[in-house]
Amino acid sequence: MTGGQKTEGQRIAQEDRLPQEWRKSAYERWLESEGIPVVSGVAVPDLRRVEVAPWPRLDARGAYIRLLGAEDTNNAYIAELPPGKATAPERHLFEEFFFVVDGRGGCEVWNQAGGRQAFEWQTGSLFSIPLNCSHRLHNGSGREPARLLGVTTAPLLMNLIHNSEFLFNCPFDFLDRFDGREGYFGGEGTLYPGRVWDTNFVADVQRFQLHDWAERGAGGKNVMFEFANNSLCAHISEFPVGTYKKAHRHGPGAHVIILHGEGYSVMWPEGVRDLTDVPWKPGAMFVPPGMWWHQHFNTGPTPARYLAIRWGGAKWKVARYLDIQGVDKSRKDGGNQIEYEDQDPRIHRMFTERAAARGVPVRMDAFSVRV
């Protein structure tokens, strides 16, 4: 050991002498101040059954979801609205997507420049609140609670600014995000090359029309979403019965929500043979860690469809580490996809065994799979 180097014990001892509050990030401290449960781990088995608790700030019930693969670049939470109730109004300087897990209702959005819109949502709706707009969610049922999943950029903003008063009370109107024009949340959009749909509202992601994406394999379909001039974006993918997609990797923070179908995904970091196995069915959510290879398998009797709310949009770039570029290009050519003929043979064997156990025919013969 040279004079300038420290042992691990010395490093820990030095950190122990620092102020206690320095050991937690601003985001971690804010989570504690919210006073609701925080779900952690690799995956959530069913978003419909996440336990929630009273959430005074929103005048609702909720729980934060802080999964491993988000790496505190973005986060998720469940907001549950009691029958006939509405959330407290709020606004903030972090982006926010909403996916309606269950229920129906409405949302009001307004800014100080005079823009105001209201729209209705239902189970399966996807929408984003324009940056720093005031908004309020209403449960449209007087008998049943409504449950929504929020995905936000709060961790990055909290840790960069570390001043929640500013993040929740900045008066600036981002008119490039929301100018109050009629039809802003009307569901209309523009389809660009690469299956990119630019919009502000999708009424039902479970029925939204998808387009072929042959490069990802197995006869899969897809559409990429750009919402509300955000840095966060989303996509939907679907693949047939008895098939699986090619392994790929990208940066952290892609919250994958299973819409329909049954199956599993495997994840692993480069150079590691042990696989992290994530079984799934409708309502499950997981987040692959940054640059971990991962692969999705349909072992159910119906097509499998999932929604991913993530970084790496076509319109606005944030950082190379958060991007998803190259997920349909072979790693042999500098991309981030493993072709079927290059995958570990045990991948196909595992799928064949699991599909057979469920009586599902394997339909991978046409895809040059390595067995």
DSSP string, 47-69: GGG---EEETTTTEEEEEEEEGG
Question: Which pLDDT score is estimated for 365?
Answer: 83
Question: Which pLDDT score is estimated for 17?
Answer: 80
* Residue 59: other Cβ atoms inside 10 A: 16
How far is 281 from 263, CA to CA, in rounded Å? 7
Question: Which pLDDT score is estimated for 322?
Answer: 86
For residue 30, give both structure tokens: 């804010």
**Phi, psi (rounded to 5 degrees) for 45:** -65, -35
How far is 336 from 92, CA to CA, in rounded Å? 34
Average pLDDT across each block of 10 residues of the chain; the chain has 371 residues. List them in order: 60 73 92 97 98 98 98 98 98 98 98 95 98 98 98 98 96 94 90 95 96 93 96 97 97 97 98 96 98 97 98 90 88 96 95 97 81 59
CA distances from 52 to 48, 60, 310 (A): 10, 9, 24
Question: Which pLDDT score is estimated for 16?
Answer: 75
Percent of the chain with pLDDT over 90: 87
Question: Which pLDDT score is estimated for 1?
Answer: 47
Which domains are seen in the chain, by residue range? 9-169 (2.60.120.10), 190-367 (2.60.120.10)
Question: Which pLDDT score is estimated for 321?
Answer: 85
For residue 185, give both structure tokens: 């949340």
Tokens 């030095």, residue? 14
Question: Which pLDDT score is estimated for 368?
Answer: 66
Question: Which pLDDT score is estimated for 6?
Answer: 65
Question: Which pLDDT score is estimated for 106?
Answer: 98
Residues 6+ apart with CB under 8 A from 244: 217, 218, 263, 295, 296, 297, 298, 351, 364
Q: What angle do CA 280, 281, 287 make, to 5 degrees?
A: 45
